[in-house]
Structure 1
Amino acid sequence: MPPRRPSVHCEPISAAATRSLSSAYARGRSSWNWAPRAASKVLIAAGRVGPLGTAYGLDSNMEMVELSRRNAAAAGVTNAEFLHGSIEAIPLPDEAVDAVISTCVSNTAHDRLGVLRDAFRVLRPGGHLVLVDVVTARPLDATQRAAIEQRTICVAGALSIAAYHAALTAIGFAGGAITLTAQHGDDVRSAIVQATKPNLSTSPPSGLRPGNVG
C-alpha cells in the first residue's frame, strides 16, 4: 500500500492569524465560518458577536451539520446557525454577513476564484475577509502541481501570491494583504489572507470632494 500523502496543515494557527481572526468579529454583527466541524469555531464566533449578532457555519457533510446543531443546542447557544452546502456557493443571500472567516478550509477547494467571488457576494459593504489558506511563491504549471500532489494534498487549486492579489482586486476587494506563515517545501506556504469589501457609501459623491464644498 502506498504511503498516505500528508495534507498541508495550517494548524496550529499562528498568533498573527489569531489576532486577524479575532479582529474580524464585532458584537452585534454576523459572521460566516466555513466547515464548522462539530461547531466549536462557530460557537466561539457566536460568543464574540454577542446575542444581537449571528454566527453561521457551513459544512458539505450533512451529518456534521446536524452534529453541530446538536452541540449548539446542548451549549445553549441560540445565535448560531449551521447550513449544508458548498464554499463555492454559500447558501445565503447577497450582503448577508459582516465577516467571512476560514481556517484551513478554502485550501481544500480547487476553484479558489469561485470561493472568493461568493465570499464577496455574501459580504456586506465594509465587511472583512480573513482566510488561513495555502499559496505558492511562484506560478506552478500542471506538471509541477501534479508532482507536488504526489507528496502533499491541498495544493491543486492553490494560487500564487501574485495571482491571489490579482484575484482579490479583480473581484472587487480592497486592502488585500497576504502574510506568509508556515513553509511546506516546493515554494508552498501557508498564509493569512485579509481583504475588505469596499463601503461605497463612505466615498464622497462626485463634485463634493474635500475643498470643493461651499
Structure 2
Amino acid sequence: MPFAITRHIGALALTSLLLCGTQALAQDSKSKDHDHSHSHSQAHGSDKVYKGYFEDSQIQERPLSDWENDWQSVYPYLLEGTLDPVMAHKAEHGGKTAEEYRQYYQIGYKTDVDRIVIKDGSVSFFRGNEVLKGDYVPDGYEILTYKAGNRGVRYVFKKTGGDEAAPEFIQFSDHKIAPETADHYHLYWGDDRAALLEEVTNWPTYYPSSLNGSEIVQEMLAH
C-alpha cells in the first residue's frame, strides 16, 4: 500500500489524504515569526532579494518546471555530521554556538522524505523504497513577512491527480521571486493550504541528488 507522507510540524503532523479541487489564486501578505538565516549559494539574482528585501512589483508567477530535478534531503547529512563545518561557520558569524545551530537545523530540516523527483508536472516523494506521486498545477503565491522584517514568497501548487495519499498542496520557498531554475529549496506539504503557511519552524530542505555531501557543504558556505 502507498505510504501517507507525514511532515513534522512541531507537535503537529500533517498526513496527506485527499484529492484536489479546483485551482485558486492568492497573493496575501501574512506576518510570521520566522527569521532563520541561510547559508546557501545564490547563483543568480540580487543578494538583497535573496535576503528577503524586495518590492511586491518584483514578484512574478513561476512554473513547476523551475524546480524540475532529482533532489535529496540534507537532513541525513546534518545527522551524520557532514554539515558540521556549516554549523561552525554560522557560530563564527551568528549569535549561537555550533551545537545550538545544529539543534535548530535538526528541527528545520527534519523529514522522512529523503528524495523528491519533479518532472513534467508531477512530483514523486520517496521514503526509503516507498514512493507517492502526484500531478500539480500552480495555485498562486503567498508573501510572508518575518519577525526580522524581511519577507519571503511561498509558491503554491495544488494536486490535480495521482496517488490519493499524495499531499494536496506543496509550497516552495527558495529565496527567488521570479522565474529561475532552483538550486535548492525548502518544501512544505500537506492537505491544508492555510495551515502550511503558518509553518515556520520545520522546512525540509533539498539539494540536487547529483551533489555529494562535501559539495553541499561548499554550496552552503558559498553564501
| Structure with the largest fraction of helix | 1
TM-score by length of 2: 0.25
Q: Which has the higher contact order (CA 8 A, sep 6+)?
A: 2
Structure showing greater radius of gyration is 1
Structure with greater proportional strand content: 2
